[in-house]
Amino acid sequence: MSDTLLKVRDLKIGATIYPPGEKPKDIEIVHGVSFDLAPGKVLGLIGESGAGKSTIGLASMAYGRGGVKITGGEVWVNGRDILKTGHRDVRALRGGEVTYVSQSAAASFNPAKKIMDQVVEAAVEQKKFSRKDAEARARTLFAKLGLPDPDNIGDRFPHQVSGGQLQRCMTALALCPEPDLVVFDEPTTALDVTTQIDVLMAIKEAIRDTGVAALYITHDLAVVAQVSDDIMVLKMGNTVEYGNVDQIINNPQEEYTKALVSVRSIEHEEKAPTPDPVLSVRNITARYKGTNFDVLKNVNVDLYPGQTLAVVGESGSGKSTLARVITGLLPPREGEIEFAGRKLSPDLAGRSREDLRELQMIYQMADVAMNPRQTVGTIIGRPLEFYFGMRGAEKKKRIIELLDEIELGEKFIDRYPAELSGGQKQRVCIARSLAAKPKMIICDEVTSALDPLVADGILKLLLDLQKIEDVAYLFITHDLATVRAISDNIAVMYQGQVQRYGGKSKVLSPPFDDYTDLLLSSVPEMRLGWLEEVIANRKMESAGN
């Protein structure tokens, strides 16, 4: 056995794409990447979406997802080139020497089989352990990963444990056959921040205790800094920078890495409340039809003209439900909403066109918030036509103005959403809501589906537009860095209630209540040793446990 477990040399990966109306063509998505991984070490692969990091991770199992083909280079695992060995060897490798942890455990577990059956499957199949030994090992791993009731949790079905627990079960699944290498593909991205650190810590300890090597793939540099020994920064299938974690975080050489490392560059001065709020939510209690559980309990918040109210909380805290109540999609059981000095009808049907115009919404997933069969011009033009009766040249002129405001320009007018990048799509959605000349826009997690640098651009744009158009934002997010960057007031929500509410400086300075403290401390910080510090200082368990 050599001292490098995984040796990748000049790896090239290609894919076939099918552009509409053209012949399918082959493109190269990874252009010659090389790295080494010693036994027991962790290499972090980091980059934005499309950087090729997952593709490289899977290639180390000699696998290409979808139409992806490994077109060149060498991948040596334990001293043999797995791209050249036959199918039989590759089968022995996968699930035996190399295992994989995917982003969404919920989508990867078979909902019809018990967790234990799935966790031991690979180990038994590969004849590494007998079923009995494998189960014993699985229980040890469950305990090591901090899962509650490790002796019996394997008898549960995947839907009977929480998301954070399931992600740890998946880690147990990957570690069960005693692999030499585990590929972690964004294992904590789908989790809440407070759950994320538990899973992260569990993974880190499991890696240390079992002596396994790992490839850790993520887009979040602060996360990868906590678990890796080395980091490779990727962009568009090329290596940007490759070095040990200390050097990358504390002394990045390349511009791109510096941009990733630098903390959010947005500065925003908190504005003082004005006398008349544009939106006042009074004593709102709401539940979904057919349930007997109040998702919102007695919520009171105010939003002032031209300012930003950030509503923060984990998934399930009721923040998106609040948006649905304000827009009229979910009439509340109790309480009322005052908007621009008038009382809003609780349901959508009772609202005037003026109410609808002045209260706009931007969605999390820009992909599905725009009709894929309409051009950008139609999408932005419709509110102009609908609310202001604009036609022809006048409408076109205004569309172009709006496109300029969102920094895209006239050439985008005839494009379809599918021809835009994620950030551009979100910009078009912003333009669509601005077209209505609203007094207030609800932004529901508008940056959480975007890469960090792109998200930064969107936030800057929103702040600039706020100055120009004097529009108020109700900003729903789980990301505290975003909140710090843009808000004037903050409402922290927990289990349907407003836990803490007030001006930004007040909410974000001590003394904290336990929940706010947990939330604030869970935001990954770009420094080494942060994870251990947080775990040591916590006052409260996260909800995902």
In the complex, which residues of this chain contact another protein (CB under 8 A)? 18-20, 22-23, 327-329, 348, 351, 353, 356-357, 360-361, 363, 365, 367-374, 382-383, 386, 416-419, 432, 436
- Cβ closer to another protein: 55 or 360? 360
User: To the nearest whole angstrom, how small is the minimum distance from the Cβ of residue 361 to another protein?
Assistant: 6
DSSP 224: H
Alpha-carbon distance 211 to 496, whole Å?
A: 43
Question: Cis peptide leading into 111, omega within 30 of 0?
Answer: no
The answer to whether the CB of 141 falls within 8 A of the CB of 173 is no
User: To the nearest whole angstrom, how small is the minimum distance from the Cβ of residue 466 to another protein?
Assistant: 21
- One DSSP character per residue, 325-359 reads HHHTSS--SEEEEEETTEEPPSSGGG--HHHHHHE
User: To the nearest whole angstrom, how small is the minimum distance from the Cβ of residue 458 to another protein?
Assistant: 17
Tokens of 81: 């080139």
Provide the 3-class DSSP secondary structure of residue 283.
Answer: strand
CA atoms within 13 A on the CB side of 19: 6
User: To the nearest whole angstrom, how small is the minimum distance from the Cβ of residue 371 to another protein?
Assistant: 5
User: To the nearest whole angstrom, how small is the minimum distance from the Cβ of residue 301 to another protein?
Assistant: 20
CA atoms within 13 A on the CB side of 105: 29
- Cβ closer to another protein: 104 or 374? 374
Alpha-carbon distance 237 to 517, whole Å?
A: 39
User: To the nearest whole angstrom, how small is the minimum distance from the Cβ of residue 337 to another protein?
Assistant: 15
User: To the nearest whole angstrom, how small is the minimum distance from the Cβ of residue 455 to another protein?
Assistant: 19
User: To the nearest whole angstrom, how small is the minimum distance from the Cβ of residue 389 to another protein?
Assistant: 14
- Cβ closer to another protein: 128 or 432? 432
- Cβ closer to another protein: 256 or 388? 388
Tokens of 118: 């799935």
- Cβ closer to another protein: 365 or 461? 365
Alpha-carbon distance 9 to 56, whole Å?
A: 12
- Cβ closer to another protein: 19 or 510? 19
User: To the nearest whole angstrom, how small is the minimum distance from the Cβ of residue 471 to another protein?
Assistant: 16
- Cβ closer to another protein: 327 or 499? 327
- Cβ closer to another protein: 360 or 521? 360
- Cβ closer to another protein: 117 or 367? 367
**Dihedral (Cα; 316, 318, 320, 325), 10-degree rounding:** 150
Nearest to 428 by CA among 384, 383, 376: 376
- Cβ closer to another protein: 17 or 528? 17
Alpha-carbon distance 296 to 282, whole Å?
A: 12
- Cβ closer to another protein: 174 or 436? 436
The answer to whether the CB of 356 falls within 8 A of the CB of 435 is no
Alpha-carbon distance 18 to 22, whole Å?
A: 7
Provide the 3-class DSSP secondary structure of residue 309.
Answer: strand
Q: In what order do the strands lie in the sheet with 472-477?
A: 359-362, 440-444, 472-477, 308-312, 489-494, 497-503
- Cβ closer to another protein: 133 or 385? 385
The answer to whether the CB of 119 falls within 8 A of the CB of 177 is no
Alpha-carbon distance 358 to 362, whole Å?
A: 13
Alpha-carbon distance 7 to 38, whole Å?
A: 9
- Cβ closer to another protein: 20 or 341? 20
Alpha-carbon distance 349 to 419, whole Å?
A: 35
User: To the nearest whole angstrom, how small is the minimum distance from the Cβ of residue 28 to another protein?
Assistant: 20
Q: Strands 296-303, 279-286: parallel, antiparallel or unpaired by DSSP? A: antiparallel
User: To the nearest whole angstrom, how small is the minimum distance from the Cβ of residue 368 to another protein?
Assistant: 5
Kindly give, in sequence order, each residue whose CB lies less than 8 Å from that of residue 428, ignoring residues fewer than 6 positions away.
366, 370, 376, 379, 380, 406, 408, 412, 417, 420
Nearest to 249 by CA among 267, 263, 235, 268: 263
Provide the 3-class DSSP secondary structure of residue 37.
Answer: strand
Question: Cis peptide leading into 511, omega within 30 of 0?
Answer: yes
User: To the nearest whole angstrom, how small is the minimum distance from the Cβ of residue 280 to another protein?
Assistant: 20
- Cβ closer to another protein: 4 or 327? 327
DSSP 84: T
User: To the nearest whole angstrom, how small is the minimum distance from the Cβ of residue 473 to another protein?
Assistant: 16
Question: Residue 322: enclosing H or E segment and its boundaries?
Answer: helix 319-327
DSSP 477: E
User: To the nearest whole angstrom, how small is the minimum distance from the Cβ of residue 247 to another protein?
Assistant: 40
